[in-house]
């Protein structure tokens, strides 16, 4: 039984505050403990304390107390701390992977491979950037100074826990900020282990603090706290709107990475069949629970039947089962997620899309666990729910286009703008199409780069994470005038 019943505040593991007053029935609720459910077994596998406003107050106070000294350290000193974290992270990689498999159903190969690897990759990139980052530069008579913004509230989701913690915590540390992290209560153990890693690495007390809990409790208290200078949130559009609303009275900086309904434009060329098959496989990774998932595949209308046949075969090769086994897909992360995905699959059938693979219900032989069939629809139109709603499950919608202009029009016909991909043998043609997609992260043939800015247009959010761009949201820019000798006061 994994237990996350203490918070990491001011460099110490501490019990949650219990603000309940028996003499005041209308007062604050007592401390709560939430169950953590293994999505493969549907059984409780852990418990996590639900932080209150009192816990957030303590964590923010610790961060504020630590900020002055940490913000005054040199970039070289902070880089040394990050290198210490690298060593501690490597030692705990197995523990991190095991927690992800148990709490969110990530197959062992994914959890111990790409999931843990993302955290390590972002840490290495943060160190590389910090070594050459220009915190000061002269521009004529002005000195431009980039200073840490202050205390940051970092609120992260369950689907890629280490990635989302890493792209917030490491830039915040690198730039000299202090912080309070609230990871998802659905998969909380990665956050606890992460805090243990930073403690072992010697991050100064109070610079990093961890308060577990849910959004309405700890999350709302953090985003509205007057001692917080900046909020970085990753999650749903609905929750992101609430975070922004809570933060508005304090005029905090708010950065958000929200939902997506990302297009994968497959060009009409000799690589078509391979690109369709690859698009299916990529979509099913992490059980489709990826905000940037390429969940809309756009193919030439004249090749729709061919695309459907290739996609059917590719989906059949996606193995589903116990995440401890050698499978491609484990379960989705929760009962609520399972029910949402099932409802949208049923909606796609009812709206008349052609079911190519999968469908409602669990895969054969899996009666227990939140398992979803790898599902592909063809002949999807842009007005259908499966083409517009973020499903967050292993469901691919294939839409037909008449020509490249039409493909771009379909790709941009969404309230989201997080990601996209163009798949084609002609790189010049693919690059031309990629430039026309209204999204923050557009890959060509599934390219990948830890240094590429990541973030969204439209309802997919604001601000950027990853690489050097991820540093800037944690910095204030100060202009100091009068640096030219001729402008000195007489």
Annotated domain spans of the chain: 2-258+460-478, 263-453
**Residue 433 main-chain phi, psi, to 5 deg:** -70, -40
User: Does this chain's domain 2-258+460-478 share its CATH topology with 263-453?
Assistant: no
Whether residue 313 lies in the annotated active site: no
Q: Give the DSSP letter string of 289-347.
A: --TT---EEEEEGGGHHHHHHHHHHHHHT--BS-TTSS-SB---S-HHHHHHHHHHHHH
Query: 176: alpha, beta or left, given left = phi > 0 and alpha = psi -120 to 50?
Result: left
CA 359 to the chain's CA centroid = 27
Nearest residue to 67 via CA among 173, 166, 163? 173
Active site residue 29: no
Q: Say which residues have a Cβ less than 8 Å from residue 22's Cβ, sequence separation at least 6.
A: none
Note the pTM of the prediction, 2 decimals: 0.95
For residue 490, give both structure tokens: 């007489």
Q: Is 187 helix (H, G, I), strand (E, B) or coil?
A: coil
Give CA–CA dist 404/435, Å, rounded: 13
Distance CA 233, CA 246 (A): 12
Instruction: Fill in the DSSP letter of residue 454.
Output: B
Write down the catalytic residue from 102, 103, 242, 257.
257
Cβ proximity of 174 and 78 under 8 Å: yes
Q: May I ask the CATH class of domain 263-453?
A: alpha beta
pLDDT tens over the chain, length 490 residues: 899 999 999 999 999 997 555 555 555 555 689 999 999 999 999 999 999 999 999 999 999 999 999 999 999 999 999 999 999 999 999 999 999 999 999 999 999 999 999 999 999 999 999 999 999 999 999 999 999 999 999 999 999 999 999 999 999 999 999 999 999 999 999 999 999 999 999 999 999 999 999 999 999 999 999 999 999 999 999 999 999 999 999 999 999 999 999 999 999 999 999 999 999 999 999 999 999 999 999 999 999 999 999 999 999 999 999 999 999 999 999 999 999 999 999 999 999 999 999 999 999 999 999 999 999 999 999 999 999 999 999 999 999 999 999 999 999 999 999 999 999 999 999 999 999 999 999 999 999 999 999 999 999 999 999 999 999 999 999 999 998 765 544 4
> Helix, strand, or coil here: 68?
helix
Catalytically annotated residue among 102, 152, 291, 468: 291
CATH number of 2-258+460-478: 3.40.605.10
Where does 74-115 have alpha helices with state H? 75-91, 93-104, 108-110
């Amino acid at each position: 039984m994994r237990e996350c019943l203490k918070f990491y505040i001011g460099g110490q593991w501490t019990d949650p505050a219990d603000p309940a007053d028996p003499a005041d029935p209308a007062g604050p609720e007592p401390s709560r403990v939430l169950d953590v459910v293994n999505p493969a077994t549907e059984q409780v596998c852990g418990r996590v304390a639900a932080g209150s406003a009192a816990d957030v107050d303590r964590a923010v106070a610790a961060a504020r107390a630590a900020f002055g000294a940490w913000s005054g350290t040199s970039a070289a000193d902070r880089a040394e701390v990050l290198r210490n974290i690298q060593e501690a992270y490597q030692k705990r990689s197995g523990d991190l992977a095991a927690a992800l498999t148990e709490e969110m159903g990530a197959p062992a190969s994914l959890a111990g491979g790409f999931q843990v690897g993302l955290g390590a990759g972002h840490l290495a990139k943060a160190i590389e950037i910090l070594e050459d980052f220009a915190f000061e530069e002269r521009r004529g008579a002005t000195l431009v100074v980039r200073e840490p913004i202050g205390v940051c509230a970092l609120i992260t989701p369950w689907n890629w826990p280490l990635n989302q913690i890493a792209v917030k915590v490491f830039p915040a540390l690198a730039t000299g900020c202090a912080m309070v992290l609230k990871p998802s209560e659905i998969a909380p153990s990665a956050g606890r282990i992460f805090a243990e890693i930073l403690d072992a690495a010697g991050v100064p007390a109070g610079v990093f603090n961890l308060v577990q809990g849910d959004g309405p409790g700890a999350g709302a208290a953090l985003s509205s706290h007057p001692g917080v200078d900046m909020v970085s949130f990753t999650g749903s559009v609905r929750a992101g709107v609430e975070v922004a609303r809570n933060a508005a009275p304090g005029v905090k900086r708010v950065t958000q990475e929200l939902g997506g309904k990302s297009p994968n434009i497959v060009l009409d060329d000799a690589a078509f069949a391979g690109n369709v098959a690859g698009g299916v496989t990529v979509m099913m990774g992490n059980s489709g629970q990826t905000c940037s998932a390429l969940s809309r595949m756009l193919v030439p209308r004249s090749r729709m039947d061919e695309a459907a046949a290739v996609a059917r075969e590719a989906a059949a090769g996606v193995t589903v089962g116990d995440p401890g086994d050698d499978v491609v897909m484990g379960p989705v992360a929760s009962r609520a997620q399972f029910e949402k995905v099932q409802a949208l699959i049923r909606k796609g059938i009812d709206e008349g899309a052609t079911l190519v693979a999968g469908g409602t219900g669990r895969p054969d032989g899996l009666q227990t666990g939140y398992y979803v069939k790898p599902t592909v629809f063809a002949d999807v139109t842009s007005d259908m729910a499966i083409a517009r709603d973020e499903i967050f499950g292993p469901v691919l919608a294939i839409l037909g286009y008449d020509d490249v202009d039409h493909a771009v029009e379909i790709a941009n016909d969404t309230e989201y703008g997080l990601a996209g991909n163009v798949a084609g043998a002609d790189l010049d043609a693919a690059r031309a199409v990629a430039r026309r997609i209204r999204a923050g992260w557009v890959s060509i043939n599934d390219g990948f780069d830890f240094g590429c800015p990541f973030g969204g247009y439209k309802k997919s959010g604001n601000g950027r994470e990853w690489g050097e761009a991820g540093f800037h949201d944690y910095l204030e820019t100060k202009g100091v005038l009068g640096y030219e000798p001729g402008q000195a006061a007489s």
